[in-house]
Amino acid sequence: MTDGGGEKKSRRARGDGGVRWDETRQRYIAEKTVGFDGRGKRIVKTGTGTSESAALRKLRERIREYEAGLMPAAHRVTVAQVCEDWLKFERSDVGEKTKEGDSDKYRVHIKPHLGGRRLKDLRPDEVDKWLLKLSSALSTSTLKQVRSVLRRSINRAVKRGLAERNVVDLCPAPKGRTGRPSKSLTLQQASDILEKTRKHHMHPYIAVSLLVGVRPEEVRALRWDRVHLDEDTPYIEVWRSVRAGGDTKTKKSKRTLAVSGYVAAMLERQRQAQAKVRARVGDHWQENDLVFPSLVGTEQDAHNVRRMFRDALRLVPGIDPDEWVPYELRHSFVSILSERGMPVEEISRLMGHKGTAVTELVYRHELRPVIESGASVMDSVFPLSVEEADEDTEDEEDDDNDAA
């Protein structure tokens, strides 16, 4: 066999398939029959290239993809396409906020860096470099969430025959930027806030959050029909939140909590103040029976609540408003109870946690500088007085001197 210049060429291996020159496309085309479909029609795979060897190489790739069960057009699928497919179909049953968050992570962090890359060509080292680049700007938690969006998108593609493996599984998320640590108020700070913000319209909200420990999303969704102030022991029913569907975070979060006399008084004050606002607004008021609504009766936005909370903190000397968010009132509730000796199991029940692990690891900012329980137990087991210890030390010194 000779090429167009008359030079003799080596024979291709048996089973490589045929190669022909396409004058119109100015490329070599390699073809091979790999099987027959249900109607008995031949299944032909092709590969093209500027040389015979390149065309055969492409043909072998197409055959390998076919034997691996991949879809015919899998080699053209991009990372952006599989992510958008996952967002459209597999995220259709989640809440709008969750779906929006996943979409933002794809749009901001995945598409600009990896979106145009063909999925079959994506390599683990590319993913490692991409994650490392993001780690300087994102917290560890956010970085893991971004990686999860890409990993689950490719998992869907693998199940549908668009990829042989998920390379993201080989690339753990590195440690991200150090985030803003949560904190709690000291007893003095909490007292100052309750005292100095008393005339601010956010004071009842602050009192409920700090003295009852309710989550911000639960406070915003609290309705008057769940507030019982005329009982011998006033209480509120924390059965709703502003989360998707209006349900609480977990089943344990749905709880009924007694409130202190001060909180009951502040809720009554809020009821009266709200009646005045309703009368002033008139027809613009939208009745939703909310305890802490907007100026027209609608559900409060989290950003507005944070802004008004910080506005109230400006009345408190020694407190930097920009360093605090409403959620840290809940942290402070836990720490104050802990400092006063309440068992963590009871605190966990008040918080609506499934168990004590979250209460211990996340919320319990101990205010005591020293943990005394271990020393107390040891003192009871080994009741050795200081005087006895000093006497033993003196006896040892005398023995040493005699020996010398």
DSSP 15-77: TS-EEEEETTTTEEEEEEEEEE-TTS-EEEEEEEESSHHHHHHHHHHHHHHHHTT--TTGGG-
| Cα-based distances in Å from 333 to 57, 211, 214, 280, 367 | 67, 6, 9, 35, 11
Dihedral over alpha carbons 100, 101, 103, 106 (to 10 degrees): 170
How far apart are alpha carbons 26 and 18 in whole angstroms?
17
Given 215, 220, 240, 310, which residue is catalytic? 215
* Residue 98 CA from chain centroid, whole number: 10
DSSP 349-362: HHHT-SSHHHIIII
Given 60, 111, 223, 249, which residue is catalytic? 249
Task: Decide: helix, strand or coil at residue 27.
Answer: strand
In the 8-state DSSP scheme, what is residue 165?
-
How far apart are alpha carbons 99 and 86 in whole angstroms?
11
Catalytic, 363? Answer: yes
Given 105, 196, 353, 365, which residue is catalytic? 353
Catalytic, 251? Answer: no
Matching residue, tokens 């806030």: 193
| Cα-based distances in Å from 273 to 28, 55, 99, 177 | 83, 80, 38, 44
Residue 58, both tokens: 């492409």
How far apart are alpha carbons 93 and 29 in whole angstroms?
46
How far apart are alpha carbons 368 and 133 in whole angstroms?
40
Catalytic, 198? Answer: no
Identify whether the C-beta of residue 58 lies closer than 8 Å to the C-beta of residue 27.
no
Given 32, 109, 310, 330, which residue is catalytic? 330
Dihedral over alpha carbons 35, 39, 41, 43 (to 10 degrees): -40
How far apart are alpha carbons 123 and 171 in whole angstroms?
10
Catalytic, 249? Answer: yes
Task: Decide: helix, strand or coil at residue 43.
Answer: strand
152-166 burial, b at 16+ Cβ within 10 Å, e below that, comes to bbbbbbbeeebbeeb
Active site residues per annotation:
215, 249, 330, 353, 363
